[in-house]
Amino acid sequence: MTRSVSARELYEEVRLRLELQCVVEGDGERRIEIAEGRTRRPSLIGYLNLIHPNKIQIIGAEEVEFLDGQPASKRRAILQRMFKLQPAVLAITRGIEPPADLLMAAKRSKVPVWRTPKRGHDVLTYLQYHLARALAPQTSLHGVFLEVYSIGVLITGEAGSGKSELALELITRGHRLVADDAPEFTLVAPDVIDGTCPEMLQDCLEVRGLGVLNVREMFGDTAVKRNKYLRLIVHLGAPVADGELDGMKRLYGDVSTAKLLDVEVPRLVIPVAPGRNLAVLVEAAVRNHVLKSKGIDAAQTFVDRQAHAMKRQRTW
């Protein structure tokens, strides 16, 4: 699968932040892309490089000085090679006036040319960050994504299991909604998954019997969160009879992991049954998860105590 963004889309997204001016419009549909399965990752952005070309070539004072120092024939050859490599964009930094022959070559090749007053390093850093997120692997899951005690928690379960009602209860207890129904997840680092809300569903929570609620308007700006890293999945499962419950699950809970974007995410199953206070259980699960991440495991401590007591009894 190929993930891409067009030059025109990128320009609109970063134009204000980088104070861009479009000098040559060119072909705005040129794609900046990453294809999965490639043995070599393409270079997306960098300073002028004719050996390992970048999709976005940054032209600063040093690059212009280098071109100015070349004989006319070699300068033409360099420009021909530069545009033969089909860059998606040329970015001129520090507000430099682009050389006339470079602009003419860009117009012939329909390569967009942007100019910015920012330093090359600032442009490089920001665009690397922006493209890394825009082209990162993404997926969408069915559930409600919330921030509970500063931890990103995805609540999943079958239709009608009470996910939205539980989310509403947690929101009234001071926790925050990120996304309902279809949160989007992006792999922003090798082991970090960032969850966000689709624009269409922003601030909305659908509760059966009540319809669609605007959480921001009902509970205020502090009741919603733009994005959060996913750290825990809580699945609302079917009730289990005591005789059917595995003894180890009684001690450690029904804990496993779920693979999302090649990252193992802790997953806890909470059986749903009449009379259970699910909001309190989720809060307790999050607190326990935080303690485990610090090396404090209550169940393991209990098992160790029991083993120690049995060992002492055998020595008497």
Task: Taking residues 182-208, report their average pLDDT.
Answer: 92
This prediction's pTM: 0.76
As separate numbers, helices (DSSP H) first and strands (DSSP E) second, the chain gives: 10, 18
Which ranges of 143-229 would DSSP assign to H, the alpha helix?
A: 163-172, 215-219
Class of domain 2-134: alpha beta
Banded model confidence at residue 285, pLDDT cuts 50, 70, 90: very high
Query: Bigger pLDDT: 38 or 287?
Result: 287
Give the active site residue among 119, 226, 249, 250: 250
pLDDT at 41: 46
Least confident of 113-122, 211-220, 233-242: 233-242
Cα separation, 194 vs 260, whole angstroms: 11
Which 3 state secondary structure label does DSSP give 288?
helix
Q: What is the DSSP letter of 221?
A: G
Q: Is 142 a catalytic residue?
A: yes
Give the active site residue among 76, 142, 173, 226: 142
Least confident of 87-101, 137-151, 200-214, 248-262: 248-262
Cα separation, 178 vs 187, whole angstroms: 17
pLDDT at 45 over 80: yes
Banded model confidence at residue 19, pLDDT cuts 50, 70, 90: very high
Q: Is 250 a catalytic residue?
A: yes
CATH of domain 138-305: 3.40.50.300
Q: What is the DSSP letter of 53?
A: -
Per-domain residue ranges for the chain? 2-134, 138-305
Nearest to 21 by CA among 85, 86, 90: 90
Nearest to 59 by CA among 35, 25, 86, 89: 89
Cα separation, 206 vs 17, whole angstroms: 35
pLDDT at 40: 43
- Asked if residue 231 lies in contact with residue 266, where contact means CB atoms within 8 angstroms, the answer is yes
Identify the H or E element spanning 67: helix 61-68
- Residue 246's φ and ψ, nearest 5 degrees, are -60, 140
Question: For the chain, what percent of residues have pLDDT higher than 70?
Answer: 94
Task: Taking residues 284-295, report their average pLDDT.
Answer: 93
Neighbour-count burial of 268, counting CB atoms closer than 10 A to its CB (0-12 exposed, 13-18 middle, 19+ buried)? buried
Q: Is 242 a catalytic residue?
A: no
Cα separation, 139 vs 259, whole angstroms: 12
pLDDT at 150: 93
Identify the H or E element spanning 177: strand 176-181
Q: Is 118 a catalytic residue?
A: no
2-134 and 138-305, same CATH topology = no
- Asked if residue 79 lies in contact with residue 101, where contact means CB atoms within 8 angstroms, the answer is yes
Cα separation, 205 vs 179, whole angstroms: 8
Give the active site residue among 181, 194, 203, 235: 181
Cα separation, 188 vs 211, whole angstroms: 33
Nearest to 157 by CA among 224, 236, 256, 261: 236
Give the active site residue among 30, 163, 235, 289: 163
Tens digits of per-residue pLDDT, 224-260? 999 999 999 999 988 776 666 666 777 787 889 999 9
Q: Which residues neighbour 173 within 8 Å (Cβ) at sequence distance 6 or greater?
A: 279, 283
Q: Which residues neighbour 261 within 8 Å (Cβ) at sequence distance 6 or greater?
A: 137, 139, 185, 187, 193
pLDDT at 313: 80
pLDDT at 34: 64
Tens digits of per-residue pLDDT, 46-100? 888 888 888 899 999 898 888 889 899 999 999 999 898 888 899 999 999 988 9
pLDDT at 16: 92
pLDDT at 35: 55
Cα separation, 242 vs 250, whole angstroms: 9
